[in-house]
Amino acid sequence: MAIVNLQNVTYKYPLTDVPVLQNINLQVEEGEFVAVIGPNGAGKSTLCYTLAGFAPHFFKGELTGIVEVAGVESHNSILSEWVLNVGLAFQNPFNQISGAKYTVFEELAFGLENIGIPRDEMIARVEGAMKLTGISDLADRSPYSLSGGQQQRVALASILVMQPRVLVLDEPTSQMDPIGTREVFGVIHSMAESGMTVILVEHKMEWIAQFADRVIALKDGEILMNGDPSEVLTSPLLPSNGFGTSRYTSVARRAQELGLWNEGKLPITLDEAVRGFNSSLTKEEIPDARAK
């Protein structure tokens, strides 16, 4: 049964005439890891805000269609109730730190304090979230003294302690270096493996290819493609519509044009690219290819 159900969803921000989302139909199964890709202005962040209840409950505007999570319809809920089922991580973790607490441990407990969780359960949840996100050694540090990757892990842990049914991430690694990106994707992968439903907006195709169960390609507020990563991420529709592609797919596509890629399917990961080139290339073929 789908835990997320969007039917004919259209949304316009206040004082605008053009919808940012148009006729979105999307179902996500419980425990599924879905990645959302798209060029700038495609409506990816607005989709995140809609899933998290911020649109229309916080941003207002006009929302039509059905937005349903865990059997609850957005129009029939208030934001304070909705966020217990859906956790949203923003692009910049700095915006998600409350500023009301002095240590990471206290920061993670802040949301639980607000909903009246008993102290013993609160401590157990915080310790469990820190362990899963790999930040136990940061418990007594100030959230503002941390690196970007560490802050994003704190932000993810602050969502995890609330035990939402669905985790929505809006480009959580957009401001990070490769080390920070690796740290955060490791945490996201752990969350997905624990059974949490994950909906991730991201531009880094290599990481999406490695972890996502399904990919949604969004353009101009509409779903262009929806399917298996190996099909969506290698589709010629992506580059022709302003989407980025995996470097492995791009290299193999060029090699295919030069006659150096004889496999039927283009790769989306490094391992697939290595296997494909090993089986496609021979020493005798290389000089001929270079001559082209």
Tell whether 155 and 97 lie within a shared domain.
Answer: yes
Cβ atoms of 63 and 50 within 8 Å: the answer is: yes
What is the sign of the dihedral through the CA atoms of 215, 217, 223 and 224?
Answer: negative
Task: Per residue of the chain (292 residues), give pLDDT as tens.
Answer: 799 999 999 999 999 999 999 999 999 999 999 999 999 899 999 999 999 999 999 999 999 999 999 999 988 888 888 888 999 988 788 888 888 889 999 999 998 998 899 999 999 999 999 998 889 999 999 999 998 888 888 988 998 899 899 999 998 887 778 887 888 888 888 888 888 899 999 988 999 998 999 999 999 999 999 999 999 999 999 989 989 888 999 999 999 888 888 888 899 999 999 988 888 766 445 545 444 4
Tell whether 70 and 173 lie within a shared domain.
Answer: yes
Tell whether 81 and 172 lie within a shared domain.
Answer: yes
Tell whether 3 and 74 lie within a shared domain.
Answer: yes
Tell whether 291 and 253 lie within a shared domain.
Answer: yes
Q: What is the CATH number of the domain that holds 178?
A: 3.40.50.300
Tell whether 271 and 196 lie within a shared domain.
Answer: no
Instruction: Give the position of tokens 């589709």.
Output: 235
Q: Where are the beta strands (DSSP E) in 100-196?
A: 166-170
At 108 the pLDDT is: 94
This prediction's pTM = 0.88
Question: Where in the sequence is the domain holding 149, given as residue range(s)?
Answer: 92-163
Tell whether 69 and 190 lie within a shared domain.
Answer: yes
At 282 the pLDDT is: 60
Tell whether 79 and 191 lie within a shared domain.
Answer: yes
Domain boundary among 143, 163, 183: 163
Instruction: Please give the single-letter amino acid code of residue 21.
Output: L
Tell whether 191 and 209 lie within a shared domain.
Answer: yes
Tell whether 71 and 174 lie within a shared domain.
Answer: yes
Apex 119 CA angle, 151 and 117, nearest 5: 80
At 284 the pLDDT is: 42
When divided into structural domains, the chain yields a total of 3
Instruction: Give the position of tokens 């970007």.
Output: 148
Tell whether 292 and 152 lie within a shared domain.
Answer: no
Domain boundary among 163, 189, 204: 163
Torsion, CA 260, CA 263, CA 265, CA 269, rounded to 10: -70
Domain boundary among 134, 163, 192: 163
Could you tell me which residues come within 8 angstroms of residue 235 by beta carbon, excluding any fewer than 6 positions away?
217, 225
Cβ atoms of 198 and 169 within 8 Å: the answer is: yes
Tell whether 207 and 101 lie within a shared domain.
Answer: no
